[in-house]
Amino acid sequence: MSTVNRTVAARPVVRISRYALRFLMAALFLFAAVAKLLDPAAFAQQIANYQLTPWPVTAGLAVLLPALELCVGICLLLGRWESGALVWTAILLTIFSGALVAAIARGLSIDCGCFGRSVENTGTIWPLIRNLTLLVVTGFLWFSRDRQ
């Protein structure tokens, strides 16, 4: 299995795509983290709009999620602890997608809050599609990574 992965990862097209997609993911996570860290109180309010968690948990998530995004973004940018960063990428995107599905299912007309207050009026459908696309990208980065 690892031999197959090394062979696939060694192809120039795959390597170039990997670099591009890794930097794209890093940029997205870093932008999301910085946007939320500018105003954690406002981000807490955006999480509260989903009506999924009691307030103290919401406030905790408002400081923990941007910190995780920042760490993941830095790891992906530098190519250090990449496997661990991809584990968190998958976990975070799954959690965010689940929250969006819950909001859509309950007919909540809310702003995604994915990038704090920097990008508003994004609704819930398009962020969900974006997250699912990024999950596919995460899968590609995971299975094409160099495990040597």
Partner 1 sequence: MTAFRQAGLILLIAVGLAGVTAAVHPKRPAFRAPPTDPNEVNLAQVQHWARTVLWVDARPDAEFASGHIPEAVSLNFENWPEQFPKFLDQYSPDRRVVVYCSATSCQLSREIAEKLRTSGITNAYFLEGGWEAWKHAQP
Cα Rg of the chain, angstroms: 16
Q: 3-class SS at 14?
A: helix
| Cα four-point dihedral sign 11, 12, 16, 19 | positive
56 binds partner 1 (CB under 8 A): yes
Task: Report in angstroms how near the CB of residue 77 gets to partner 1 at its nearest.
Answer: 13
Kindly tell me which residue out of 8, 102, 110, 119 binds partner 1, with binding defined by CB under 8 A: 110
Query: x/- site string to partner 1, residues 65 to 104, per CB under 8 A?
Result: -xxx-xxx--x-----x-xxxxxx----------------
Return the number of the residue (12 or 56) whose C-beta is nearest partner 1. Answer: 56
Q: 3-class SS at 70?
A: helix
**How distant, in Å, are the alpha carbons of 29, 83, 143, 146 from that of 1?**
30, 16, 10, 12
Binding residues for partner 1, rule: CB under 8 A, are 37-46, 48-49, 51, 55-56, 58-60, 62-64, 66-68, 70-72, 75, 81, 83-88, 107-111, 120-121, 123
